[in-house]
Amino acid sequence: MALLLGIDTGGTYTDAVLFDPGAGADPSRIIAKAKAHTTHRSLEVGIGAAIDAVVAEAAIAPADIGLASVSTTLATNALVEGRGGRVGLVLIGMDDASVERGGLAQAIGDDPVIQIAGGHGPHGDRAAELDLAALDAGIEACGPVDGFAVVGEFAVRNPEHEVAVRDHLIARTGTPVTCGHELTAELNGPRRALTSVLNARLIGLIDDLLSATERLLAERAIAVPIMVVRGDGSLISLSMARHRPIETILSGPAASVVGARHLTDAQTALVSDIGGTTTDIAVLVDGQPTLTTEGAVVGGHRTMVRAVEMRTVGLGGDSEVGFDDSGAGTTLRLGPRRVLPVSLLATEHRDRVHGVLERQVQEWAVSEFAGAFVIRRAQPTAPEALPEVDQKLLAAIGDQPVALPDVLFTRREVVALDRLLALGLVMVSSFTPSDACHVLGRHDAWDIEAAEKAAAVFARRRDRFGNDLAPSGAALAQRVFDTVVHRSADTLLDAAFAADGRSAPDLSGHELVQSALRGAAEGAMVDIRLALRTPIVALGASASTYYPAVAERLGAPLDVPGDADVANALGAVVGQVRVTASATINRLEDGPFRVHLPDRTLDFVTLEDAAESAEIVLRDLATAQATEAGAATVETALDRADNVVELDGESFFVEASLTVTATGRPRLGDGVPGIA
């Protein structure tokens, strides 16, 4: 039986596993696993190191591998951190108010919006002629972009104008184009536009990852199909993931849930995966992850992407540590921005990092940026397009880490740094929870001395009253650790409350809940108690560091399974292909039944004729899409729901929805299915 290679590229680590699916009575098992640092300057370095390490550990030949599958948190992290390419949004037949709805204005930001006449009505009839001349004028005005998102009014009822605009844009600019009807069959134009914008913004980033993986496998003579994990835990082919990268948001977390189910016997559990940038929490019920019914929320954006119901917060081992003293006291702030731990930076730039920290720890008063560094991620592709202050800052940074106080002198430089960070051109290194764990002796993989010096410097930052943040670096590190535990517990509680149907925001922050978590005060008349009844399955390299304290705080059973550190990579290879194709049927007034298929509309005299025809088309379409997605054999299932209302004793047909789901195991290198 061929081995399966799973790869997970996260914000800090790239993991790899070789999985033996077993045959007959032989058990499936991980036969080798490895970790390497994710190298953001060149993803190939980290991915290649992880692949080489796992192949060497298993002592196998390239021909022994039958499939490679990739999961990643890069898309999720980019949206959480507000990174991605510049996008041009083309709205067809939609007014200014549409831009303000559904979070679209926030998502598009300062990127250009082109509004042109066209679009269709709710029955798919053309509402106005398409104005391609206005499109050409908009292209000239918007300047260079990394991709276009095209959304037309009621395009899910008739995609004619979206397709025409897509073809025109490609012919005119050669730039990647995302059409709203390709991503979802749901109504709600603004949310379709938001999802399309985010998809277009992620194309370049995900293509870098997939291209790197493709090249590395080819160089190692590993000639196998490559799959990618979607946000719902299913698998799609490399080519489909390139075109629809938005579906890889929550890819890593979804893979972790699939991996957790494989590693444990848990039927009902809260699965919490703590990584470098985010903590992702999902709910297992009857052994299956719950899926979102309204679309995944990432980085504050409600998309239309089908995904595991996931609560994602910017809390991880590499979360930036800050503080807030605007209230009665000073509180630590963690994330949402991911930074490079100082202890990790020092492993590659020891002399420079230690020199700066030793100087700062001796200063009478430390800067608000003390203990932080900035390092270039990549050369800008078009430095002349950057504002002058950004170019000067980029030049000042150079090719080696630079202390932030040495390059940030005014508010203009601070704003410029934020822009460079958003473009992915630079990365900040500062004190993180991972550094705190080095100080406390809970972690020792990197430079402990650098972590201790960074903690000492950070502890000497002053609040608005002129007081040091902490009496020592060790005291600061303990506060950071306790804050991670506290926030992790609160996030788990909020996920559990939501699963119980209690949807009020921030229930974990309620005074009674916090009182229960702290325990009764001395002499208190009321002892308030709270316990999480559902077991916690904790995943991630640092799960065993934080989650015993989290589980104790919540009074919950805890399972940190063996191989919890590579659950994402395992989940990447034990999933299956699953795609859906949907159609709706409504009736024109005193007229035919109209079927709205993904690519066209058809009219029929009777409802059953319409439904029968729709089912045939959808089964063929879903089967073709599953095959394109990499399935070896395909099974289909139909779900039909008729919306009929009773009025004055009579039944009136409103609408019917049909969805065909096609599933199958991915093809291996020899063309046979993978594990069952």
CB atoms near residue 633 (< 10 Å): 13
Q: Quote the pTM value.
A: 0.75
161 pLDDT tier (thresholds 50, 70, 90): very high
pLDDT value of residue 676: 38
DSSP state of 27: P
pLDDT value of residue 307: 81
The percentage of the chain sitting over the pLDDT mark of 70, rounded to a whole number, equals 95
Please check the confidence at residue 292 and state whether its pLDDT lies above 60: yes
pLDDT value of residue 380: 46
The pLDDT tens digits of the residues spanning 539-572 come to 988 999 999 999 999 999 999 998 888 998 999 9
Residue with the larger pLDDT of the pair 652 and 342: 342
* Nearest Cα to Cα of residue 308 among 635, 2, 571, 19: 571
pLDDT value of residue 70: 92
Domain with CATH 3.40.50 in the chain: 84-203
Please check the confidence at residue 671 and state whether its pLDDT lies above 60: no
DSSP string, 495-564: HHHHHTT---TTGGGSHHHHHHHH-PPTT-S--------S-EEEESTTHHHHHHHHHHHHT--EE--TTG
Give me the amino acid identity at 382.
A
The architecture (CATH level 2) of 84-203 comes to: 3-Layer(aba) Sandwich (3.40)
Helices (H) and strands (E) counted in the chain, each on its own, are 21, 29
Minimum mean pLDDT among 302-306, 338-342, 373-377, 379-383: which range?
379-383
pLDDT value of residue 382: 46
Please check the confidence at residue 26 and state whether its pLDDT lies above 70: no
pLDDT value of residue 24: 52
pLDDT value of residue 306: 79
Cβ atoms of 117 and 178 closer than 8 Å = no
The mean predicted confidence, pLDDT, of the chain is: 86
600 pLDDT tier (thresholds 50, 70, 90): confident
The pLDDT tens digits of the residues spanning 193-215 come to 888 888 788 888 788 888 888 99
Cβ-defined contacts of 636-644 (< 8 Å, 24+): 636/660, 636/661, 636/662, 636/663, 637/661, 637/663, 640/611, 640/615
The percentage of the chain sitting over the pLDDT mark of 90, rounded to a whole number, equals 39
Rounded CA Rg of the chain: 26
Residue range 35-56: mean pLDDT, rounded:
86
Cα 83 to Cα 75, 586, 596, 607: the distances in Å are 9, 41, 36, 47
* Nearest Cα to Cα of residue 427 among 339, 323, 324, 337: 339
Cβ atoms of 487 and 433 closer than 8 Å = no
* Nearest Cα to Cα of residue 235 among 663, 581, 622, 565: 663
511 pLDDT tier (thresholds 50, 70, 90): confident
Please check the confidence at residue 172 and state whether its pLDDT lies above 80: yes
Cβ atoms of 83 and 172 closer than 8 Å = no
Cα 238 to Cα 50, 225, 299, 550, 558: the distances in Å are 20, 8, 25, 38, 36
Cβ atoms of 209 and 74 closer than 8 Å = yes
The pLDDT tens digits of the residues spanning 405-456 come to 999 989 999 999 988 887 778 899 999 999 999 999 999 999 999 999 999 9
Give me the amino acid identity at 544.
S
The pLDDT tens digits of the residues spanning 640-655 come to 999 988 877 788 888 9
pLDDT value of residue 474: 96
Cα 572 to Cα 232, 334, 436: the distances in Å are 12, 29, 31
